[in-house]
Amino acid sequence: MSNDEGSPNDQMTKQYRSFTLDFGFRHSFVIRHSCFVIAFLLALALGSVYAQKRSITEKDLFDFVWIGDPQISPDGMRVAFVRVTVNEKREGYNTSIWSVPVAGGEEPHQLTKGDHDSTPRWSPDGKSLLFLRASEKDGKPEPAQLSILPMAGGDSFSFTDLPKGASNPVWGPDGKTIAFTSDTNAEDLDKQAKKKRREAELKKAVSESSPSPTPATKGSGKPTATPKSEPDAAAKKAEAEAEHESDIHVVTRAVYREDNEGYLDPKHPTHLWIVPAPRTADEKVQPNQLTSGRFEEGNIVWSKDSAQIYFTSLRIDEPYYELPKTELYSINPNGGNATKLNSIDMGIDALSLSPDGKRIAFIAATTQPVNSYTQPDLWVVDLTPNAKPRNLTATFDFDVGGGVFGDSAPPRAGGANIPLWTADGRSLIEVYGKEGKTILASFDVESGAETDLTHGNQAVLRFRASADRSKIVYTVSTPTRINDLFALERSSGEPRQLTDINDELFSKLNLTEPEEISYQSFDGKRIQAWVQKPPDFNPAKKYPLILDIHGGPHTAYGYIFEHEFQWMAAKGYVVLYPNPRGSTTYGQDFGNVIQYHYPGDDYKDLMAGVDDAIHRGYIDDKKLSVTGGSGGGLLTNWVVGQTNRFAAAVSQRDIASWEDWWYSADFTLFQPTWFKAPPFDGEEEFKTRSPLTYIKNVKTPMMFILGEVDYRTPPGAGGEEMFRALKFRKIPTVMVRFPNESHELSRSGQPWHRVERLQNIVGWFDHWLMGIPKPEYEVAPQQEVPVKKSNVPGKQSPPPRVE
């Protein structure tokens, strides 16, 4: 690993300087020819190095390494982080905890040996590392439990065994107690206790009834084996005898499921728990539930003296009938009733206690007026009853706590940011998004004045600081770096690279930086975009174009690693990825301008970008394609209904009918954020803005990429409708369905599925733009394919009845 000093986006460059030596004709001749020879040899050497590198492939994802959830030790000497890799079967991800010194100069080393270790948290004295460990049963992770690794030496050990596991652990400042959250309820504990008693009874019965090992047979030297895995057999029998648990869902709420999480269970709200911190594996401790009731709690923050725990909740059964709101509570860790301190008319997150223990900082967005998009701001509120929050960044027109996104954030155990107070309480450290970058900055607590702490074309993903805030560690992503750890000494302001986690792979790859461009749209707005070109790009040639549209709609592309774009470019495509109106990182007005007009003028921004790319002279205007996911899938559907300029389209996790989506998504639009009224009161608005309305205009061959458990944009409100309509119209179309995949398919889905997604997107474009045969996309391919016996060619089954 190389530990390069300087800013994260520094790259090795070769500078050639020409100069004139006035030594007379002979000396000049010799020197010029010597320089020519040296330059020629240098070019050969560089060409040899270039030739040794290869283009990135879709399957390189299997070898990616991600860094998540960095945590700096209290003394500022070491960083613990989660190292995320693809597992051996390439069906999931492994997470383990590693460490590296803040001073750099050493390779990271592994701290924990589990396959599902995450959430490292240093004890206040730095002598222990708390983390979550999920063991495996039948090849699947069990609920995670609290575990500790003694930093002086010795093995780690788990010390909770809750049926629904533990999450969000937070050390008390005195280091004696740990608060955490769990969905476990009293019924779960009762069932667990009964099962353990039954297991013990069965083990005893099996032991008493099992014959003693028979003597060794003559000449064998070994006794006959006793029955194998008696404890396992007893456990399985106890499980089989357990009380039947119904798997049906009785739904009474409008929001009843969550994408990537599944069906919500009102019987298992998330509550606060507390447990003494064990010093050794032999010390048995008992976790206790601190809060109860039917409402969930979260955002645990300890008071400085460990005498109180602050947390958030919202004790309203159906909050979707109201604008976002959060209630702030405190409770004694020894027990008792919680005290309500405040009710704040915003959805707040990421609480952070001031050094004097009298204020809390948080990230939130105002709720009035009701917008499609409202920028998040940095707020401070006193911990006195009903104190009024103060907005520090009301005049700062960028997204505090936000930034750009890509397809290569850690797919597991990424962690989260919270605002960090400086030791003197005068400033808060937080990220913000600005024009395609995510920047780490400090904000003055009195004036809100902002000062950048990081610089360059990059995205700061996660950050933490030492107890005295003199050192900050953070992860950085760039278009040619997935993510790596950096340390910043606040006194000098100079960053230091701590890891080069993907060097083994990336040193072999020919990755290129995208070109940033901007262009003027129809109404004069400037649109920022990036162009990812093939590694061997030649401006004199003509290339096929892929227009890639981001979702959200209130998100942003930018200076961050995008495996998808790098691979598409490696396959010979030029990739255009713009931030049309509605994108974040350009101010409140730019983000909210699409309210009640989505899709609409953003489509014009996208087409202006395609026109600009063609005008640059290296795009073949007969080989244009378009794709996008989520809101980008919606816009892909919209694009092909408005123009026939594209030779192929791939719509991913999309929306075709706003009305059908309104009824089936995993969140509600009961407030007038995107639409002024529900579909039964505003039918025309829903119809006008739905791509399905324009299906008769579509002539573009289309592929649909769908996750079969996508609850954010359910397939029945998107690709399934478009596919059936296009089949009726005999427009070439294919639907690619991914079992067990949610809306997160492209970012954290199963590794094999992520690779197959990329293969199918580019495969569709290869077929329609490049003329490459793809028999799998044909109804009757020329080559022989397996056919189910029930689907005998020439024999048509009657349609099923609807009952």
Q: Picking from 5-14, 104-113, 339-348, 517-526, which range would have the lowest pLDDT averaged per residue?
A: 5-14
Cα three-residue angle 390-396-402, rounded to 5 degrees: 90
324 close to 367: Cβ distance less than 8 angstroms: yes
Residues with Cβ < 8 Å from 621, sequence gap 6 or more? 614, 645
Q: Picking from 6-15, 220-229, 529-538, 605-614, which range would have the lowest pLDDT averaged per residue?
A: 6-15
Count of Cβ atoms closer than 10 Å to residue 336 Cβ = 9
Q: At 403, which amino acid appears?
A: G
60 close to 505: Cβ distance less than 8 angstroms: yes
- Tokens 């995510």 map to which residue? 438
Q: Give the pLDDT band (50/70/90) at residue 532.
A: very high
- Tokens 């709420």 map to which residue? 253
Task: Reply yes or no on whether the pLDDT at 37 is more than 60.
Answer: no
Give the percent of the chain with pLDDT over 70.
87
Tens digit of pLDDT for each residue in 430-474? 999 999 999 999 999 999 999 999 999 999 999 999 999 999 999
Q: At 323, which amino acid appears?
A: L
Distance (Å, whole) CA 174 – CA 165: 24
Distance (Å, whole) CA 461 – CA 409: 8
391 close to 361: Cβ distance less than 8 angstroms: no
Distance (Å, whole) CA 494 – CA 483: 18
Q: Cα separations (Å) of 802 from 619, 716, 795, 799?
A: 50, 17, 22, 9
Q: Quick one: pLDDT at residue 244?
A: 80
Q: Give the pLDDT band (50/70/90) at residue 204.
A: confident
Angle, helices 230-241/186-209, rounded to nearest 10 degrees: 130
Query: What are 363's strand-pairing partners?
Result: 349, 378
Task: Reply yes or no on whether the pLDDT at 17 is more than 50.
Answer: no
Distance (Å, whole) CA 185 – CA 162: 9
Residues with Cβ < 8 Å from 602, sequence gap 6 or more? 553, 580, 581, 582, 594, 635
Q: Is 576 helix (H, G, I), strand (E, B) or coil?
A: strand
594 close to 638: Cβ distance less than 8 angstroms: no
Q: Cα separations (Å) of 552 from 549, 557, 597?
A: 10, 11, 14
Pick the more confident residue, 544 or 204: 544
Q: Is 637 helix (H, G, I), strand (E, B) or coil?
A: helix
Distance (Å, whole) CA 228 – CA 236: 13
The mean pLDDT of 149-176, rounded to a whole number, is: 96
Tens digit of pLDDT for each residue in 77-92? 999 999 999 999 999 9
| Beta strand extents in 265-319 (DSSP E only) | 271-276, 288-289, 297-302, 309-313
Tens digit of pLDDT for each residue in 422-442? 999 999 999 999 999 999 999
Phi-psi map region of 335: left, alpha, beta (phi>0 left; psi -120 to 50 alpha): left
DSSP secondary structure letter of residue 240: H
Tens digit of pLDDT for each residue in 483-524? 999 999 988 888 999 999 999 999 999 999 999 999 999 999
Q: Mean of the per-residue pLDDT values for the chain? A: 89
Distance (Å, whole) CA 196 – CA 185: 17
338 close to 385: Cβ distance less than 8 angstroms: no
Tens digit of pLDDT for each residue in 557-571? 999 999 999 999 999
Q: Quick one: pLDDT at residue 213?
A: 53
Sign of the dihedral through C-alpha 658, 664, 666, 672: positive
Distance (Å, whole) CA 470 – CA 486: 14
Give the distance from CA 604 to its chain's centroid: 29
DSSP secondary structure letter of residue 671: S
Query: What are 177's strand-pairing partners?
Result: 276
Q: Quick one: pLDDT at residue 235?
A: 60
Task: Reply yes or no on whether the pLDDT at 351 is more than 50.
Answer: yes
Distance (Å, whole) CA 67 – CA 413: 9
Helical H runs in 177-225? Answer: 186-209
Distance (Å, whole) CA 784 – CA 607: 41
Helical H runs in 580-712? Answer: 588-592, 601-615, 631-642, 658-664, 683-688
Distance (Å, whole) CA 507 – CA 11: 13
Distance (Å, whole) CA 762 – CA 566: 12
Tens digit of pLDDT for each residue in 376-407? 999 999 999 999 999 999 999 999 999 999 99
- Tokens 């353990």 map to which residue? 196
Give the percent of the chain with pLDDT over 90.
82
| Beta strand extents in 277-358 (DSSP E only) | 288-289, 297-302, 309-313, 326-331, 339-344, 349-353
Count of Cβ atoms closer than 10 Å to residue 78 Cβ = 21
The mean pLDDT of 318-323, rounded to a whole number, is: 96
Task: Please choose, from the candidates 386, 348, 385, the residue with its C-alpha nearest in 3D space to the C-alpha of residue 366.
Answer: 348
Distance (Å, whole) CA 40 – CA 38: 5
Sign of the dihedral through C-alpha 550, 551, 553, 557: negative
Distance (Å, whole) CA 555 – CA 583: 5
Q: Quick one: pLDDT at residue 211?
A: 60
Task: Reply yes or no on whether the pLDDT at 184 is more than 50.
Answer: yes
Q: Quick one: pLDDT at residue 233?
A: 63
Residues with Cβ < 8 Å from 135, sequence gap 6 or more? 114, 116, 141, 142, 145, 158
Task: Please choose, from the candidates 639, 567, 574, 629, the residue with its C-alpha nearest in 3D space to the C-alpha of residue 604.
Answer: 639
Distance (Å, whole) CA 330 – CA 115: 36
Distance (Å, whole) CA 488 – CA 600: 44
